[in-house]
Structure 1
Amino acid sequence: MSGSNFEQLSRAQLATLLPELLLCGHLIDRSGMAHTIAAFGRTGMTAVAIEEWQLASPVYTRRMQRAFGFTGDDVVTIFKGLQLDIGAPPQFMDFRFRVDDRDHGEFWLDHCGALLDVEPMGDEFVLAMCHDIEDPTFDATALATNPRAQVRPVHRPPRRPADRKPMCAWTVTIDAAHVPPPVPPNADRIAATAAARVVLADIDPADEGQSDYSGPLLSDLRFADFSKSALVRMADEVCLQHHLLTLGFLVALRSRLDPAAAIALGRKQFAGIAGLTAERLCKALKLGDDMVALAMVLRLHPAWNPLAYTDISVVEADGALQLTIPRASCAESDGSWPAMIDADHLAPLDAMARAVNPRFAAQTVDSTDRALTIEIIRADQPSRESTEVALTRFSTGAAFAFTDRGIPLPLTVV
């Protein structure tokens, strides 16, 4: 089992990085939206979004529950899972919770960045997201904890009046009389992936700080309260969420497109989120614009993590940088992001490099059945931002800033 790239960071740096990783996972969909709308129209885009989240979220939710010791079948367990889910990144998707008893609770969103992204597109797109997509995907997330859980709206957009707060509100009810939702087609395919089954290093319970989330539900997660060991594991798990959502996206594409067209669309989504994520990581950690900074960004980028899944190597020395993608990794066998890179398709890597310095560019050094080696060079002239990254900037999440909310409060039964 490989180590973790995140071990090189301090506890404070990891606490800064975690909300960034959660937000960038959420923005994967923003990267793909324009391309799926172009390919399938609004209705088809909605169907793809439903399928990818339904397939991925139960798998990664259960992984996070096991890793952080909050397995259970009650409302509190569901809410804790949402706080560590790329579908609900903190503050950008500002979930607030109330627990009535073990089987009843409510959540509402004081701020919903996803809604602010689609409201300018009109009510049809709002209805697609807040009704058509949320109904089956909220239930799929709850299903990971209890198949008898149902998530139902109290109110939701389109907002009337236009500035209504909270932006939406939902009840969560667990009842033995509830009929569990059907298991989505292809759920077994995602559950059988290497991403679903990869083993990561255990959290050291002796490390200073919180090692799990077995205590009370908190109003917010303050990542600085967790131990370094816990934050390393959390970062690796969140990166797996990125990959699992991507694998769900590819399953949805392949049922609608021929293989070549599906991978071409997948590469466009990858390039858009790759560049925006690299930019946010670089800014969050206050890195520079040289090869040393790029090496750090690449080692921490969710496309290349966790190491146990990707086995990616990034080597920087004397102003030169090489990235090696082995062809025998778990990520390659799954067909996730690393498998989309070959000697003729380096756009996602170009996007990452240019996010650190617009003069950086990727070129192939060697390509064999065993590995692909790519070098980052410094060009004479800067390159323009790619269309894929520019489209991803459509989201307000591209420039979203996190704030310190202070000490979180435990939420007890009302």
Structure 2
Amino acid sequence: MSRSGFDHLPRAALAALLPELLLCGQLIDRSGLPHAIAAFGREGMTAIAIEEWQIASPVYTRRMQRALGFVGDDVATIFKGLQLDIGAPPQFMDFRFRVEDRDHGEFWLDHCGALMDVEPMGDDFVVAMCHTIEDPTFDATALATNAHAQIRPIHRPPRRPADRHPMCAWTVTIDPANIAPPVPPNAELVASSAAAGIELGVIDTDDPGRADYSGPLLSDLRFADFSKSALVRIADEVCLQHHLLTLGFMIAVRARLGPDAAAGADPAARAGAGPKAAAMTMGRKHFTGIAGISSERIRAALGLGDDPAALAEVLRLHPAWNPLPYTGVEITETSDTVLLRIPHRSDATADGAWPAMIDADHLAPLDAMARGVNPRFVTQAIATDEHGWTVEMALAPQPFREATEVTLTRYSTGASFTFTDRGIPLPLTVL
């Protein structure tokens, strides 16, 4: 059986952690898109957001369906997938569902954290997110379940009146007459990645608790109802969603950084380093912002301290280093340091995912990750050999200033969002 970085956690801790992992996945965009705006403007940022979700979400949606045994081609299957999608973290993106029959349904958002983030920026940004981005990416997610599914708005922002609730509402229709949109040009780059095909641990059906998501669609997913084995697999799949979305982001960025684009806002490009280096610089900024916020939220969710033992635990659970069969990292601790061992060769480095973005001269994402636990942590590369390299994390006498990339990500209301217990979920039956 494949090993997992989540195996050591008790069931209750896993149930508390999973909403955090889903939310941190949604915040990946909040980390990356400010840098895309700076380099390409609002229209370029919008195009990147569309492409990254279009080419990543069908891959991870189908993976989750297979993992939890709810493969199907109806509206309820589409809705189940949304409940386990980093694009729709529970409560922060508060999706509510109605199923009319197997081919018709509606959903609406009682709360949309993403809208809360962009409304202060004005209607142009709201339209970019709720119209230009949502139309093709909602359909891409639905198409992972049924090629003839279409998602269309009933109403959506800009909100008129300004406090309109629900914030948006949509129909989902499956009809053989619906013509599927063309496959995005770079979709195969994600579909053929190591992340897309990696095999993870099999769920133990004898483990106490729910082993799958067969049966009726539920109004909410209460993760505490799942078995520990299922929670471990879900956590690994959610972390893989992070990597797949990041691969999509980087593919979209590189596609827009041709020879003539290298004179944009990116410092490496302006210095003549070329489009490849410019894309890597943007990727590292993207990684730095989400690395810090994710550490901070994981630490708070599990009530951890701020010492090396707490940092080691956060690293073991951090999406950047999971699932372990993908990244191959090793984490050890002493009384006053934490060592992170990163192999030169892994599926993650072959794909160009987060572990491939750092080296001895580019440790900013690791500094941000460590300082999400304690602002006094500092990292340094201490050893390398033919198999991998090792980073040491230790406490310095004085705290460090928060990285600009983390501060930019923190503008999202998701950075400080608090989950609540909603009690026992209800099955949603056909009307």
The normalised TM-score by structure 2 is: 0.95
Residue by residue over 1:170-203, the C-alpha shift from the partner in whole angstroms, topping out at 9 and shown as x without a partner, is 0000000110111111111100000000000100
Partner of 1:380: 397
Counterpart Cα distance in 1 of 2:376 and 2:114:
32
| 1:346 has 2:363 as partner | yes
Cα distance, 1:106 vs structure 2: 0.2
Partner of 1:315: 332
Q: Structure 2: which amino acid aligns with 1:375? A: E
| 1:281 has 2:298 as partner | yes
Cα distance, 1:379 vs structure 2: 1.0
Determine if contact 2:336/2:394 at 8 Å carries over to the other structure: no
Counterpart Cα distance in 2 of 1:57 and 1:341:
25
Q: Structure 2: which amino acid aligns with 1:280? A: R
Counterpart Cα distance in 1 of 2:26 and 2:337:
32
Partner of 1:5: 5
Partner of 1:204: 204
Q: Structure 1: which amino acid aligns with 2:204? A: D
Summarize the alignment of residues 82-121 of structure 1 with structure 2, pairs less than 5 Å apart. Answer: 82-121=82-121
Determine if contact 2:108/2:166 at 8 Å carries over to the other structure: yes
Q: Structure 2: which amino acid aligns with 1:304? A: W
Counterpart Cα distance in 2 of 1:255 and 1:183:
16
Q: Structure 1: which amino acid aligns with 2:306? A: D
What 5-or-longer segments of structure 2 have no aligned partner?
Answer: 258-274
Summarize the alignment of residues 15-414 of structure 1 with structure 2, pairs less than 5 Å apart. Answer: 15-257=15-257, 258-414=275-431
Cα distance, 1:358 vs structure 2: 0.9
Cα distance, 1:318 vs structure 2: 2.4
**Secondary structure of the corresponding residue to residue 360 of structure 2:** coil
Q: Structure 1: which amino acid aligns with 2:126? A: V
Counterpart Cα distance in 2 of 1:170 and 1:364:
50
Q: Structure 2: which amino acid aligns with 1:103? A: D
Cα distance, 1:67 vs structure 2: 0.2
Counterpart Cα distance in 2 of 1:372 and 1:384:
26
Determine if contact 2:337/2:395 at 8 Å carries over to the other structure: no
What 5-or-longer segments of structure 1 have no aligned partner?
Answer: none
Q: Structure 2: which amino acid aligns with 1:81? A: G
**Secondary structure of the corresponding residue to residue 372 of structure 2:** helix
Cα distance, 1:321 vs structure 2: 1.2
Determine if contact 1:51/1:248 at 8 Å carries over to the other structure: yes
For structure 1, which segment, 51-60 or 1-10, has the greater mean C-alpha deviation from structure 2 after superposition? 1-10
Counterpart Cα distance in 2 of 1:33 and 1:399:
19
**Secondary structure of the corresponding residue to residue 171 of structure 2:** strand
Residue by residue over 1:143-194, the C-alpha shift from the partner in whole angstroms, topping out at 9 and shown as x without a partner, is 1000100000000000000000000000000000110111111111100000
Residue by residue over 1:132-151, the C-alpha shift from the partner in whole angstroms, topping out at 9 and shown as x without a partner, is 00000000000100010000
Q: Structure 1: which amino acid aligns with 2:367? A: D
For structure 1, which segment, 189-198 or 364-373, has the greater mean C-alpha deviation from structure 2 after superposition? 364-373
Alignment: residue pair count: 414
**Secondary structure of the corresponding residue to residue 356 of structure 1:** coil
**Secondary structure of the corresponding residue to residue 322 of structure 1:** strand
Q: Structure 1: which amino acid aligns with 2:25? A: G
Cα distance, 1:86 vs structure 2: 0.1
Counterpart Cα distance in 2 of 1:166 and 1:51:
27
Cα distance, 1:327 vs structure 2: 1.0
Counterpart Cα distance in 1 of 2:394 and 2:150:
52
**Secondary structure of the corresponding residue to residue 27 of structure 1:** helix
For structure 1, which segment, 369-378 or 334-343, has the greater mean C-alpha deviation from structure 2 after superposition? 369-378
Counterpart Cα distance in 1 of 2:355 and 2:56:
18
Counterpart Cα distance in 2 of 1:2 and 1:199:
8
Determine if contact 2:336/2:395 at 8 Å carries over to the other structure: no
Counterpart Cα distance in 1 of 2:387 and 2:396:
28
Cα distance, 1:32 vs structure 2: 0.9
Q: Structure 2: which amino acid aligns with 1:59? A: V
Counterpart Cα distance in 1 of 2:84 and 2:8:
22
Runs of at least 4 residues off by over 3 Å: none
Residue by residue over 1:271-305, the C-alpha shift from the partner in whole angstroms, topping out at 9 and shown as x without a partner, is 00000000000000000000000000000000000
Determine if contact 1:239/1:306 at 8 Å carries over to the other structure: yes
Cα distance, 1:319 vs structure 2: 2.1
Determine if contact 1:2/1:311 at 8 Å carries over to the other structure: no
Cα distance, 1:369 vs structure 2: 4.5
Determine if contact 1:343/1:367 at 8 Å carries over to the other structure: no
Counterpart Cα distance in 1 of 2:425 and 2:64:
20
Residue by residue over 1:314-335, the C-alpha shift from the partner in whole angstroms, topping out at 9 and shown as x without a partner, is 0012222100000111001000
The normalised TM-score by structure 1 is: 0.99
* TM-align CA RMSD: 0.7
Q: Structure 2: which amino acid aligns with 1:88? A: A
Of all paired residues, the percent bearing the same amino acid is 73
Counterpart Cα distance in 1 of 2:160 and 2:251:
37
Counterpart Cα distance in 1 of 2:235 and 2:95:
20
Partner of 2:260: none
